[in-house]
Amino acid sequence: MPQPALDVPAHGWVNLHFSLLPAWRGAAPVQHALLAGDPVTGASTFRLERGLDTGPVYGVMTEAVRPDDTSGTLLARLAGGGAGLLVTTLDGIADGSLQARPQPAEGSAWPRSSRSPTATSTGRRPPSRSTAGCGRAPLPQVPGRRSAPTA
């Protein structure tokens, strides 16, 4: 996002990201957590800045990954808990009781498909060679959504 746009709101832009930042920055964090076999994931609220998902964090919520979770079931729980986290974050910013804290330097992870020139997986184990999470990561079919062109 261009800096002039980032500078518009008095308190900055707030984003809800479905990972425990700095883990799984970028697209599809829930799917990558499942593929990597993470036992716990969560959601983070943070202030947007020029870097991709690198801004200071306001708050987090954690969620255990269940053995039968798919990206759909886990995303549904994170959306519910994340909505509450976002409301709490906005209330705290509004009343001045909440300050964003910089993300830790260690523990960031980028999906292998990331095109970021700074894509690293410092402090994180690489995705498991096991195929255990592969069937759990794809999003469930939703009426009206197509993942491939149809004739």
Digit-coded pLDDT (tens) for 6-56: 999 999 999 999 999 999 999 999 999 999 999 999 999 999 999 999 999
Residue reference for tokens 């999003």: 139
- Tell me the pLDDT tens digit for each residue of 121-134: 444 444 444 445 55
Residue 118 has pLDDT above 60, yes or no: no
Largest Cα–Cα distance of the chain, in whole Å?
Answer: 55
pLDDT score for 76: 96
pLDDT score at 145 = 47
For residue 63, how many C-alpha atoms fall within 13 Å in the half-sphere facing its CB?
A: 27
pLDDT band, very low/low/confident/very high, at 138 (cuts 50, 70, 90): low
| CATH superfamily placement of domain 1-151 | Formyl transferase, N-terminal domain (3.40.50.170)
Give the mean pLDDT of 1-8. Answer: 91
* Token couple for 141: 């079919």
- Between 85 and 141, name the one with better pLDDT: 85
Q: Is the model's pLDDT at 147 over the cut of 70?
A: no
Instruction: Output the six-digit token pair for 94.
Output: 């509004």
What sign does the CA torsion over 73, 74, 75, 77 have? Answer: positive
Q: How far is CA 27 from CA 19, 55, 113, 131, in A?
A: 10, 16, 9, 21
